[in-house]
Each structure stands twice: as C-alpha cells, then as structure tokens.
C-alpha cells in the first residue's frame, strides 16, 4: 500500500464555522488538488463534518477535483490514489461549508405624513431557511432609494430623513444584503417598499357663523 496523500482545498476567510477549512457561495464550485505518486485518483464526498455518513463517489480520476455541493451545509472530501496494483491510504479529510441563499425583505408603512418623516422606520430582515447552522451568519446591509444607494444607511433599519426624504410623492426603498463571511457571494436584493409622502393638511380656520 502506498503512503497517504494530501488534498489541498481553496482557503477562504471563516467566521465561526467549526471544523470547516473553506466556505463557498451557493452553487460555487469546490476545487481541490490531490498530490501523490499514484497515477489515478478517486474522490469521495461525505455529508457532514466527518466520515460517518454515506459517501458519494465523484466523477473523475485525476488529481484535480471540481464539484458543486448539492445543497447547503457541511461536506467532507477524501481522496485515494492508485497505480497499477496498489491503492494509497485515504487522504486527510477536508471539511468545507456551502452557504445557503439569502432572502431579504423590507417592511414598513406605505405612507407617511411629511411632518412625520423623521420618525418613519423601515425594517430589513435577512434569512437563509436552508441553513444548517443558522446562528453563525452575519450580514452587511445597504439601503437604496429609487435605485441609488443611501450613504451611511447600513443598518437593519432605516429611518427616513426629514430633509432628503421629505419630497412629496412615492419613494421606492430596497435593501441589499451580503454575507460578512463571503461578501463576494451574490447579493440578495429585497422587495421594493414604496412609501408615499403626503402633505399635512393646513390648519383649519374656525369662524363663528350666524
């Protein structure tokens, strides 16, 4: 039997994904390279962080692996190498995490009086219902109005500005959400929340009539 081999995974910035050495965007290709004195390779993909699940034998017999995980979550990859008559020990397992898609939603009032603009609040909610570790993900937020990013509006809530948002009529707000752990992943854009700014009626003048 030949000696063990080493599988090299693409390394990305991690933030609390226990056991994983790389994290990938939804539908992103996982690329690995195995190094051995053997001539052909076999690759296995296990569900989860270890080798306890039922593995899938991946296509290809070369040192280079390109794979797209079938769903979000942890996966463990192992490679073996062979020559004409002998097979190596399995490689050290490589654990990766495939991120779920993000959904973004904005809620808030459909109308606001111009006098109350400074107290009108919109709220953004980000979710990833496919996630296997829902509490580990942080997000960045960017609010936009009528298609233009609002400078400094990067929180989960946006309070309409009494100066810049006081124009009468309909104003369309959206929020874009990204993963902190992988900001290069596709941005999730929310629904459009339209807020119609309405004028306050003039103060009534009351007169005594005969």
- H helical segments located in the chain: none
Q: Which long-range contacts (CB under 8 A, 24 or more apart) does 84-88 make?
A: 84/39, 86/1, 86/2, 86/38, 87/1, 87/2, 87/38, 88/1, 88/2, 88/3, 88/4, 88/5, 88/36, 88/38
pLDDT at 5: 56
- Its CATH architecture, for the domain 103-198, is Sandwich (2.60)
pLDDT at 4: 54
Q: Are 124 and 104 in contact (CB under 8 A)?
A: yes
Residue 199 CA to residue 117 CA, distance in Å, equals: 11
Q: Are 22 and 97 in contact (CB under 8 A)?
A: yes
Residue 6 CA to residue 145 CA, distance in Å, equals: 50
pLDDT at 1: 38
Would you say the pTM of this structure is higher than 0.85? Answer: no
Residue 75 CA to residue 71 CA, distance in Å, equals: 10
pLDDT at 15: 52
Residue 9 CA to residue 131 CA, distance in Å, equals: 22
Spans of the chain below 50 pLDDT: 1-3, 8-12, 134-135
pLDDT at 137: 78
- Its CATH architecture, for the domain 6-98, is Sandwich (2.60)
CATH 2.60.40.10 domain range(s) in the chain = 6-98, 103-198
pLDDT at 131: 67
Query: Tell me: the pLDDT tens digits for 85-119?
Result: 999 999 999 999 999 999 999 999 999 999 999 99
pLDDT at 26: 92
């Amino acid at each position: 039997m030949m000696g063990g081999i080493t599988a090299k995974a693409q390394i990305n910035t991690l933030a609390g994904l226990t056991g994983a050495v790389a994290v990938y965007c939804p539908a992103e290709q996982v690329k690995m390279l195995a190094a051995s004195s053997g001539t052909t390779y076999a690759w296995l993909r296990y569900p989860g962080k270890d080798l306890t699940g039922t593995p899938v034998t991946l296509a290809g017999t070369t040192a280079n692996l390109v794979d797209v995980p079938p769903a979000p979550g942890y996966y463990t990859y192992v490679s073996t190498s062979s020559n004409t008559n002998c097979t190596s020990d399995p490689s050290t397992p490589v654990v990766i995490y495939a991120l779920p898609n993000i959904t973004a939603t904005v809620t808030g009032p459909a109308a606001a009086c111009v006098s109350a603009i400074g107290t009108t609040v919109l709220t953004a909610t980000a979710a990833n219902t496919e996630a296997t570790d829902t509490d580990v993900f942080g997000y960045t937020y960017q609010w936009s109005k009528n298609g233009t990013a609002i400078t400094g509006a990067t929180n989960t809530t946006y309070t309409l500005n009494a100066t810049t948002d006081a124009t009468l009529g309909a104003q369309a707000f959206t929020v874009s959400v990204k993963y902190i752990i992988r900001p290069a992943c596709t941005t999730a854009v929310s629904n459009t929340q339209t807020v119609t700014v309405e004028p306050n009626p003039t103060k009534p003048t009351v007169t005594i009539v005969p």
